[in-house]
Amino acid sequence: MKRKEGAGTVRIVIGVVILLLSLTMVFFGEKNRRESQNAISIASKVVVEMKDASRIDPSMNGKLVHVTGMALPQGEAVDPDFGVSRKAIKLARRVWFLQWTEDITRRTKSDGKEEIRYSYEEKWTTKPVDIAKFQNPGLLGAIHRTFYFTKDSNDLLAKYAKEDFYTERVALGAYELPMFIAEQLPAKTVSDMTPDTKTAGEIEAFLLDRSDIKLAPRTKVHAGTGGFYIGADPENPQAGDVKIEFDETEPAEISLIAAVSGNAFASYKVEGGGEFSKMTAGKASASEMLGEAESKSASNAWILRIFGGLMVLLSVWLIRGGLRKRALKG
């Protein structure tokens, strides 16, 4: 009986927590929806067309404007470690590590006992994997297929991390475009890369000089049009190898609704609270952009309402079940 009462109490507590979280989520979702509706409504009334962004127009200062033009980087985005520079708004370094990974499967057998199965596979991961944290205590020092596991089996040939590099400034005509707007543009994978300041050999020498990186004798740096491969042979990858590729956000034509602040664009401060700005790739009218913003806001609100409603139903089911268990005890 005590176990039933304890289980009932746990269900009630979990149900109450889920109920409070779901009501809080719905409350803030509705608050954001009202603010979004207010911002879009005000924007539709005050937005004006900026027909020529090629020169600074003092009469536009402080106004909410709609403008179409090219978002152009005023300089290069540079990854100093690899000497890669692009005439781009943003250069994103992406890193993968070939690592042994552990997969644990649990199932209950017919006799009620739990069976645990461990499987191991080499995978390209975005984070290093520490073999010492594997759950199978008999793994280290054991032979798995044709591979002898040790705590160093996943040691990396280079400890690089993903990182974003930005151009110094982005312009739309004579105005500066804030990076939080510019980086909303879609990125594409670099496929025609040429290292500007470092060759593969120079990067290899750079790595060998790093006292914090343990490099195995098989380490080589291979440079290609898509990035770099650190390992003995890209055609025969081994655990510890590292792949480095790049994405770039190129100059593009955009349509923008934003406030003018001196010689730059910025978020528009909405009366009643909140801020508003909207960017769309390509040409789009102000009415099209505001309609899209309204549609997205409404969709997000309904997603939260439905999810929140389901969570409320789940919490009620848990609380009722918990009360029923406690009543049976009594």
Over residues 143-171, the mean pLDDT reads: 75
CA angle 168, 172, 174 (to 5 degrees): 90
Best-predicted range by mean pLDDT among 44-53, 114-123, 213-222, 320-329?
Answer: 44-53
Question: What local confidence, expressed as pLDDT, does residue 2 receive?
Answer: 47
Over residues 249-259, the mean pLDDT reads: 95
Domain ranges of the chain: 72-249
* Residue 79 near residue 166 (C-beta atoms within 8 A): no
pLDDT higher than 80, residue 251: yes
Best-predicted range by mean pLDDT among 60-64, 129-133, 148-152, 154-158?
Answer: 60-64
Is 0.85 surpassed by the pTM of this model?
no
* Residue 200 near residue 97 (C-beta atoms within 8 A): no
Over residues 65-87, the mean pLDDT reads: 91
CA 104: distance to chain centroid?
27
CA 76: distance to chain centroid?
23
pLDDT higher than 90, residue 298: yes
CA angle 47, 53, 59 (to 5 degrees): 60
| Distance (Å, whole) CA 276 – CA 222 | 46
pLDDT higher than 70, residue 175: yes
DSSP letters, 103-127, are: EEEEEE-TTS-EEEEEEEEEEEESS
